[in-house]
Amino acid sequence: MSATATKLNPLPMARPVAPSKAKYLWAEFGGLVLIVLCVYAVNAKWERLLEAPAAIANYIPLMLSGVLQNPFEQPITEYWTTSFDFMMQSLAMAWVGTVIGAMLSLPVGFLAATNVAPAPVVFVARQILNGIRAVPDVILAIVIMVPIFGLGPLAGTLAIGIGSIGTLGKLTSEAIEGIDKGPVEALRASGAGPVQVLRWGVWPQVAPEIVAFWLYRFEVNIRASAILGVVGAGGIGSLLSRVFNMRDWERIGIALVVIIVVTIIVDQISGAIRHRIISGSSKTSTPVAM
C-alpha cells in the first residue's frame, strides 16, 4: 500500500499517527469498574433472572386472554369501558396540567432569558427552573399536592402542571435567546415600550417553537398522568395498581393495551400538529397572526 502511494506521489508521505486511544480506554475501564461495583452494591436476586422467562411466558398469555376475549360479553365489556374512562381522566389531567405549566412557564421563561431580563433576575429564575426539574412529578404529588388537595385527579393535575414549568421554562428561555434582533431594534427605533417590544418583536418569533414545546410536553405528561394514580393522584394509574395488586391478569392486559393505544394515537396527532406549526403551511407562506 505505502509503496504504491510513494510511487504515485513524488513526496514521500508518512502514515499519519493514529489518534491516541488512551482517553477511550480509560473511559471503558472506568465504566467496567463502575459496573462491577454496582453489581456488587445492588445485591439483587440474580437467580430470579433465570426464572423470569418462564414467568413472562406464563403471564403474557394470561394478559392476552383478556384482550382477545369477545369484548361485547360481560364482564369483558366493563373492563374495557372502565379502563377507557380512567384513561380519559388521565388525558384530561395531562392536558389541563400542560395548560397550567405552559401559562406559568411563559413569564418565568421570559425572566430566564438573558436578552430580556437583567442578570440577577435571570439567575434567580434559572435556579427556580433547575429546582423544579430535579423533582419527579410523582414525588411532587406525594409531598405537596396529595396532602393539600387530597387524593384524586386534581392533585395529579397540579403536580403535572408545576412539574412542567421546569423544562418548559428552560426551553422557552432558550428559544427567546435565539431570536433575531432586527425586529426588536426596529420596534425600539419606532418608539415601542418594553411590553410592546415583547409582544410584537419577541413573541411572534418564538410562538411557533414554544407552542410546539407545549405539545411535546403534553405527550410527556400523558405518560406522567398514567402513573400518578399509583400514589393516589387519579387517572389510569389507580386502576393499574389495583389490578396489579389483585394479580388480575386479564384486566392488567386490557388496561395496558388501552394505555398503549391511546398514547400512540394522541402522540401521532400531537406530533402532526407540531410539524405543521414548526414547518408552516405547505400551501401559503403568509405570516400567521396569532
By CB under 8 A, the residues from 39 to 68 that bind another protein are 39, 41-46, 48-49, 51-52, 55-56, 59
Report whether 189 contacts 156 (CB < 8 A).
Answer: no
Q: Binder to another protein among 150, 178, 182, 193 (CB under 8 A)? A: 150
Q: Which residues have a Cβ under 8 Å from the Cβ of 140 and sit 6 or more positions away?
A: 159, 162, 163
Report whether 236 contacts 86 (CB < 8 A).
Answer: yes
Report whether 85 contacts 153 (CB < 8 A).
Answer: no
Q: Binder to another protein among 64, 104, 121, 152 (CB under 8 A)? A: 152
Q: Which residue, 43 or 74, has its beta carbon nearer to another protein?
A: 43
Q: Which residue, 116 or 277, has its beta carbon nearer to another protein?
A: 277
Tell whether residue 11 is a contact of another protein (CB under 8 A).
Answer: no
Residues 215-274 that bind another protein (CB under 8 A): 223-224, 226-227, 230-231, 234, 237, 240-241, 244, 247, 252, 256, 259-260, 263-264, 267, 273
How far are the Cα atoms of 126, 162, 172, 290 from residue 99, in angstroms, in the given order? 21, 10, 15, 17
Q: Strand, helix or coil at 75?
A: coil
Report whether 237 contacts 226 (CB < 8 A).
Answer: yes
Q: How far is the CB of 61 from another protein (least distance, A)?
A: 13
Q: Which residues have a Cβ under 8 Å from the Cβ of 42 and sit 6 or more positions away?
A: none
Q: Where are the alpha helices (DSSP H) in 43-72?
A: 48-68
Residues 154-183 that bind another protein (CB under 8 A): 154, 156-157
Tell whether residue 286 is a contact of another protein (CB under 8 A).
Answer: yes
Distance CA 193, CA 263 (A): 44
Q: How far is the CB of 229 from another protein (least distance, A)?
A: 9
Report whether 38 contacts 45 (CB < 8 A).
Answer: no
Q: Binder to another protein among 22, 38, 189, 195 (CB under 8 A)? A: 38
Distance CA 156, CA 148 (A): 12
Report whether 234 contacts 89 (CB < 8 A).
Answer: yes
Q: How far is the CB of 140 from another protein (least distance, A)?
A: 10
Q: Which residue, 188 or 223, has its beta carbon nearer to another protein?
A: 223
Q: Mask of contacts with another protein, 99-118, x by CB under 8 A? A: x-------------------
Q: Which residue, 48 or 73, has its beta carbon nearer to another protein?
A: 48
Tell whether residue 88 is a contact of another protein (CB under 8 A).
Answer: yes
Q: Binder to another protein among 66, 101, 109, 153 (CB under 8 A)? A: 153
Q: Binder to another protein among 5, 13, 25, 27 (CB under 8 A)? A: 27
Return the number of other C-beta atoms located less than 10 Å from residue 260's C-beta. 10
Report whether 120 contacts 208 (CB < 8 A).
Answer: no
Tell whether residue 134 is a contact of another protein (CB under 8 A).
Answer: yes
